[in-house]
C-alpha cells in the first residue's frame, strides 16, 4: 500500500471521528437515552393512598424528594401548606413557613428551595427553612414563583408571574441563582403567564396567555444568551392538551397524544398513542418506562405495549416524584377538598 493511500485513510478516519464527536456534542445523534440499551420498565407496583388535608382549599402544587425517605409536598394555601414524608408517614412541618407555595426543587436532603407568594424564595439547609430572596420590582404586585428547576446548586432557575399596575393583565419573569445571589434575567411585557420550567436542556418554559374574547394560547419558549425565543404556539381550539416533562435526561413534549422531542429547531415525534383517551400528563424514567395520565386513569408503557395501572381516580395526576423503585403521584380531590398521594412501591421482579 502506498504512503498516499495510508495518509488518505488516516485523514478519512480522522474526519469521521471529528464529525462523530461534533454531532454527539450537538445532540444531532440523539440524547444518551436514545443510545443506551433500555430494559422495559417494570409494572409490579403495590399501592398505598395517603390523604393530605389542608383546609380551607389548600391544594398541593408541587412535590420533590431526595429519596423515598425524604419527600416534600407544598400547598398553595390552607392551614397545612408544607408536608414531609419520612419513608413511613406524612406529617405537617412543625413550623409555619410562609402562606402559600407553588414550587419546590432541590439537590440534596440539606439543599432544597421553595417558591411561593409575594415573590418569596425559601431555602432548607437540613435543619430549617429560611427566606433568602424576594422578587420585587416597581410597578409589579402579587408576584408568585410558579416553578423552580436547576442542574446544580449553582445553576438554579425560577419563573413566576406578577400583576402590573398598568399594561397587560399579567407579566412573567425569570430568575437565576449562581450559588451566591439571585438575579433577575428577564421580565416580559406581553401578557403570557409562565407556568412550567425545565432545565434539562436549554431552559424551556411552558406558558399560557388568556383571552377574554377568543381562545387562550399555549406556548413553549427557550431561553438562551439573554434571549427568549418562542418555539411553538397553539390555541386551545387547535389542541386539547399541550405540556412537557423531563424523562430521564431528556425533555419530552406532549401535544394531545403525541410525544415529541425538540432537536435542531424542529419537533420530532418519539411516540404516538392515537387510540386512547387524552393524555393530560406524562411521567417516566426513560422512553420504555412511561406513565400516561388521563382524566381518571394511569397507564404504563414499557416500550412494547401499554397497560392500565389504576382507574376510577377522582382526578388526573397533577404532580409526581419518581425514584428507581417507588413513585408518588399527587391527585387533587376537588369534590372532598383534599389531596391524595398514590404511593407505588415495586415488589419482587415480574415473572
CATH of residue 78: 2.130.10.10
pLDDT at residue 12 tops 70: no
DSSP 263: E
Q: What is the pLDDT of residue 177?
A: 98
Residue 341, in any domain of the structure = yes
Helix (H) or strand (E) holding 19: helix 3-26
> How many residues are present in the chain?
351
Domain containing residue 214: 34-346
Residue 281 confidence (pLDDT): 98
Mean pLDDT of the chain: 90
Using pLDDT thresholds of 50, 70 and 90, give the confidence band for residue 35. Answer: low
Spatial neighbors of 348 by CB under 8 A, at least 6 apart, are 44
Instruction: Please check whether residue 77 lies inside any domain of the structure.
Output: yes
pLDDT single digits (tens) 155-213: 999 999 999 998 888 999 999 999 999 999 999 989 999 999 999 989 999 999 998 77
The sign one gets for the Cα dihedral 237, 169, 220, 134 is: negative
In a domain, residue 201? The reply is: yes
> Given pLDDT bands bounded at 50, 70 and 90, which one contains residue 19?
very low
Residue 152 lies inside a defined structural domain of this protein: yes
pLDDT on residue 168: 80
Q: What percent of the chain is modeled with pLDDT above 90? A: 82
Give the model's confidence band at 267: pLDDT under 50 very low, under 70 low, under 90 confident, else very high: very high
Domain count for the chain: 1
Taking only the tens place, the pLDDT of each residue in 289-334 is 999 999 999 999 999 999 999 999 999 999 999 999 999 999 999 9
Average pLDDT over residues 65-94: 97
- How would residue 214 be classed by pLDDT, with cut points 50, 70 and 90? confident
Handedness of CA 269, 274, 280, 283 (dihedral sign): negative
Asked whether residue 265 is assigned to any structural domain, the reply reads yes
| Res 13 pLDDT > 80 | no
What does the alpha-carbon distance between residue 293 and residue 138 come to, in Å, rounded to a whole number? 41
- State the pLDDT at residue 91: 98
Percent of the chain topping pLDDT 70: 89
Model confidence at 33, pLDDT cuts 50, 70, 90, reads: low
pLDDT at 246 (0 to 100):
97
Question: Considering the domain boundaries, does residue 278 fall inside one?
Answer: yes
Q: What is the pLDDT of residue 196?
A: 98
Confidence band of 141 (pLDDT split at 50, 70, 90):
very high
Separation CA 105–CA 52 (nearest Å): 19
pTM: 0.88
Question: Given this model, what pLDDT does residue 64 score?
Answer: 99
> Closest by alpha carbon to 75, among 343, 339, 342?
339
Cis peptide before 167 (omega within 30 of 0): no
Among 26-35, 116-125, 291-300, 307-316, which stretch is predicted with the lowest mean pLDDT? 26-35
Cα three-residue angle 129-135-138, rounded to 5 degrees: 150
Helix (H) or strand (E) holding 246: strand 242-247
Mean pLDDT of 129-151: 96
At which residue does the C-alpha cell 424514567 appear?
A: 285
What average pLDDT does this structure show over 13-21? 42
pLDDT tens, position by position, 218-261: 999 999 999 999 999 999 999 999 999 999 999 999 999 999 99
- Average pLDDT in the 48-62 region? 95
Residue 4 within any structural domain of the chain = no
What is residue 213's predicted lDDT score, i.e. its pLDDT?
Answer: 72
Q: Is residue 24 part of a domain?
A: no
Amino acid at each position: 500500500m502506498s504512503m498516499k493511500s495510508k495518509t488518505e485513510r488516516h485523514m478519512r478516519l480522522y474526519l469521521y471521528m471529528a464529525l462523530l464527536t461534533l454531532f454527539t456534542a450537538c445532540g444531532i445523534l440523539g440524547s444518551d437515552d436514545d443510545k443506551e440499551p433500555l430494559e422495559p420498565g417494570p409494572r409490579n407496583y403495590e399501592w398505598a393512598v395517603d390523604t393530605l388535608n389542608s383546609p380551607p382549599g389548600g391544594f398541593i402544587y408541587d412535590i420533590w424528594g431526595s429519596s423515598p425517605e425524604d419527600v416534600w409536598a407544598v400547598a398553595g394555601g390552607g392551614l397545612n401548606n408544607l408536608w414531609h414524608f419520612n419513608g413511613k408517614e406524612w406529617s405537617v412541618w412543625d413550623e409555619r413557613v410562609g402562606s402559600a407555595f407553588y414550587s419546590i426543587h432541590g439537590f440534596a436532603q440539606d439543599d432544597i428551595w421553595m417558591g411561593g407568594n409575594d415573590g418569596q424564595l425559601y431555602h432548607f439547609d437540613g435543619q430549617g427553612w429560611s427566606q433568602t430572596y424576594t422578587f420585587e420590582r416597581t410597578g409589579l404586585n402579587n408576584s408568585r414563583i410558579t416553578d423552580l428547576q436547576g442542574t446544580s446548586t449553582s445553576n438554579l432557575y425560577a419563573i413566576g408571574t406578577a400583576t402590573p399596575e398598568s399594561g397587560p393583565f399579567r407579566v412573567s419573569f425569570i430568575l437565576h441563582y449562581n450559588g451566591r445571589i439571585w438575579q433577575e434575567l428577564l421580565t416580559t411585557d406581553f401578557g403570557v403567564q409562565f407556568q412550567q420550567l425545565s432545565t434539562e436542556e436549554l431552559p424551556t418554559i411552558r406558558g399560557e396567555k388568556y383571552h377574554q374574547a377568543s381562545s387562550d394560547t399555549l406556548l413553549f419558549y427557550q431561553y438562551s444568551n439573554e434571549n427568549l425565543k418562542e418555539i411553538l404556539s397553539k390555541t386551545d381550539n387547535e389542541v386539547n392538551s399541550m405540556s412537557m416533562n423531563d424523562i430521564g435526561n431528556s425533555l419530552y413534549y406532549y401535544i394531545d397524544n403525541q410525544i415529541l422531542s425538540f432537536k435542531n429547531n424542529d419537533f420530532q415525534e418519539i411516540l404516538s398513542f392515537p387510540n386512547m383517551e387524552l393524555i393530560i400528563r406524562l411521567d417516566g424514567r426513560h422512553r420504555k418506562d412511561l406513565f400516561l395520565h388521563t382524566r381518571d386513569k394511569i397507564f404504563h408503557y414499557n416500550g412494547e405495549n401499554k397497560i392500565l395501572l389504576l382507574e376510577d381516580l377522582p382526578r388526573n395526576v397533577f404532580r409526581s416524584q419518581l425514584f428507581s423503585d417507588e413513585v408518588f403521584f399527587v391527585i387533587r380531590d376537588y369534590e372532598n377538598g383534599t389531596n391524595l398521594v398514590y404511593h407505588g412501591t415495586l415488589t419482587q421482579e415480574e415473572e
